[in-house]
Structure 1
Amino acid sequence: MKNYLWNMFANIKNGQMAKKSIILESRKTICESFLKILWDEGFISGYRIFVQNNKKIEIFLKYSRAGKPVINSLKCLSKPGQRLYYSAKQIWKLDSSKTFIVFSTNKGLKTINQCKKYKIGGEPLVVIN
């Protein structure tokens, strides 16, 4: 199920290293919810469904004025071979001011601040700096 997400993480990393402005990704609901989080937090310029093919999404990557990517690093925490899970108490111990973590919860994909607000735990998918 989450292989789509890890493929999208790799494509975003590679697209930003190659200084691309637009990348294409397969359209999945979990990918769309992750892109919505990235867009809400200002890590990408936007995304839309590809005009010629409904099964693809165009992702517009964002760069700073100096030409550096807004997403410096995208690191996967929980991997298919070794899953991590944090309870709500363990999430409170994490410092949310330095890193941005996206969790997969039973309520969908949530940021670390949303998990603290709703007092829910989950599987940390990715750390973005």
Structure 2
Amino acid sequence: MITDPIADCLTRIRNGCLAKTDIIYIQYSKLKQNILKILLEQGFIVNYKLKTNKIIKVYLKYIYPNKNSVIKYIKRISKPSLRKYSSSKNLPRVLNGLGIAIISTSKGIITDKLARKKQLGGEIICYVY
């Protein structure tokens, strides 16, 4: 039994990047699909597809010729044992604006830059750069 499915999803992405695999499989949930949608929009992954009702197929992105991963760092911030919330004025700037923080707000899952623009606070899910 997985106690933190979001951390499991991020760990699968991190391990896939370290192992330099092109495709990884993640169990489906709407929250994970929204996180993957943001990673796709920001250019961290190539694509993702809903394979069945229970599995998402994720295509990781690499920089050739050395096949270095685009994702250098991905870390879960708010955990089930210790939730991290932030107001719109105190949202973190990841790598001085070069990375993204994924925030769960009342308007859905969005990046820190969009949350600042819309003046929304919420739960800080993870950092990616």
TM over 0.5: yes
- Unmatched segments (≥5 aa) in structure 1: none
Per-residue CA deviation, residues 10-37 of structure 1 (Å, 9 max, x unaligned), is 1001111111100111111111111100
Partner Cα distance (1:71, 1:26) in 2: 20
- Which residue of structure 2 aligns with residue 34 of structure 1? 35
Amino acid across the alignment from 1:46: N
Distance 2:83 2:53 in 1: 32
List alignment gaps of at least 5 residues for structure 2. Answer: none
Q: CA deviation at 1:78?
A: 1.4
Tell me by how many angstroms 1:98 deviates.
3.2
SS at match of 1:116: helix
Q: Which moved more, 1:101-110 or 1:75-84?
A: 75-84
2: distance between equivalents of 1:7 and 1:125? 13
Which whole-Å CA distance do the structure 1 matches of 2:99 and 2:37 have between them?
18
**Residue 79 (1) aligns with residue 75 (2):** no
Q: Contact (CA 8 Å) 2:76, 2:126: kept in 1 or not?
A: yes
Distance, in Å, in 2 between the alignment partners of 1:88 and 1:76 is 19
Could you list the structure 1 runs, at least 4 aligned residues long, displaced by more than 2 angstroms after superposition: 93-96
Q: Does 1:59 align with 2:44?
A: no
Q: How many residues align?
A: 125
Larger fraction in strand: 2
* TM-score computed with the length of structure 2 as normaliser: 0.89
- Matched position secondary structure for 1:72: coil
What letter corresponds to residue 60 of structure 2 in structure 1? L
Partner of 2:6: 5
Q: What is the alpha-carbon root mean square deviation over aligned residues?
A: 1.6
